[in-house]
A and B are shown apart, each in its own frame.
Chain A
Amino acid sequence: MTARRLLVLAAVLVGAVVVQSAVLAGLRLGGARPDLLVLAVVAVAMASDATTGAVFGFVTGLVADLLFDLPVGVSALVYTAAGFAVGTVRVFVTSHLPLVHLVLAGAASLASVWCCGLLLRVFDLSSWAAVTRAGPLVALCNLLLTPFVYPVVWALTERVPARPASRW
């Protein structure tokens, strides 16, 4: 991991958090708002590997918990798992069809929203109705956002390779 790559990932994180809280938080589509942070985690994991996906997911989740006043660690736990899972599955996704990537992003969003909701329900901080309703709505919103988020993250991470080219 080079310093420049670390900087790029930090920029993705800060950008996603600011856009999520200042722009997307104002949106309400059927009572749910898109979850840009899951998308960022999925995109980074797709563009790198399982370890990077897990670490990026953990840091993103931690920042989200702290800023959005959730029990600290809940989003971190879920996003770590999401980043790792996507980074692992990525090896088996050889297709360049946009549909495949959309389905992956949608499924990851649905799973992580439901897992977050489930954890918060366990802590009695949410209701079953809110949890079940939020999942599909957030996944749908995220599907609409994916075409905008993916290319940006890909372009940024492609430009800066994971490790410096070595010659022998």
Chain B
Amino acid sequence: MYQHSRRRQLTVLAALLAASIVCITIDFRQPDGGPVDRLQRLAIAVFGPLQRGASAVVRPAAALAGEVAELGGLRDDNRRLEVEVARLRAQERTYADVLGENRRLRGALGMARRCGCRTVGASVVASSGSNFQLSVTVDAGSRQGVARDMAVVDADGLVGRVTQVTADYAIVLLVTDPASGVAATLAPGPAWGTARSAPWSKAPGIVRGSGSQLLSFQPVRAGTPVRRGDPVLTQAYQGSVFPAGLPIGVVERVDPAGAASLVPRVAVRPYATLSTLDVVAIVVERPGQGR
């Protein structure tokens, strides 16, 4: 009897492990719209509304929790008044939150307008729960004209790229994720004095995420001089995903080229505040792409 149930357990385990490995294989080999892709869209469509509801509940509650925690030691007759104050403060904070959201959304839309792009605004409804994937779910999808590989910005700079779309939701891979790579160019910063004294007009390279808060910029040419404070912008090329000239970040640290590396290692701090994203704009149409 024991032997029998043990064998059954092992069969189930083997079947599930095999199924996982098959999934991994299919996921890496499928084209857009493959079976795993469709399954992913289904999962996002099912969980999207739940996540949106949960984050709508959590945002004010988290603010209120701080207030309530301070009330613990007070006398009963004071408590009622304190709660009233907390409620009003929370209400006030909600107003401030809405005002701030409005301002940031305007900023995000203004950012994209600078490069002459048409954009769609969206709110962040959830972040990736994984420790190894830096992405967010936003509440705009194919119904709003969003498609895969579109650039996403906030009021300060580039946020990332759309990697998955459903009718009402999309997943955005942040620039800080190690899987993210963006064609970029250095612009002469304040360290060069006037723009004309910089020894180059454009220094092409690639901005990669590292999983931490800083990005790394890899210049294409070995001799490119880089100084702290130089801004990094997106670079467009034939068939590229991003429009040119979106600000990505500013050079924070330069380790010069040496025995370990032919090109300098450049750490870039992104302009966008990726840890506390709430509203973003998705670039749905680049200049010159109009229909």
Residues of chain A having any CB pair with chain B under 8 Å: 14, 17-26, 28, 31-33, 35-37, 49-51, 54-55, 57-58, 61-77, 80-81, 84, 88, 113, 116-117, 120, 123, 125-127, 129-131, 134, 138
Contacts and interface: CB of A to CB of B under 8 A. Distances in A.
Contacts of B220: none
B172 to A, nearest CB: 9
Interface in B103-152: 125-133, 135, 137
Contacts of B51: 18, 21-22
A32 B57 CA distance: 23
B19 interface: yes
B129 A127 contact: no
A126 B44 contact: no
Majority secondary structure of chain B interface residues (helix, strand, loop or mixed): helix
Given A58-B16, A72-B39, A127-B178, A67 B127 contact: no
Contacts of A81: 13, 17
B186 to A, nearest CB: 24
Given A72-B27, A73-B22, A138 B43 contact: no
A164 B204 CA distance: 68
Given A22-B126, A74-B24, A69 B131 contact: no
B58 A134 contact: no
B126 to A, nearest CB: 4
Contact of A54 (B16, B39, B178): B16
A21 B129 contact: yes
A64 B126 contact: no
B225 interface: no
A63 B127 CA distance: 15
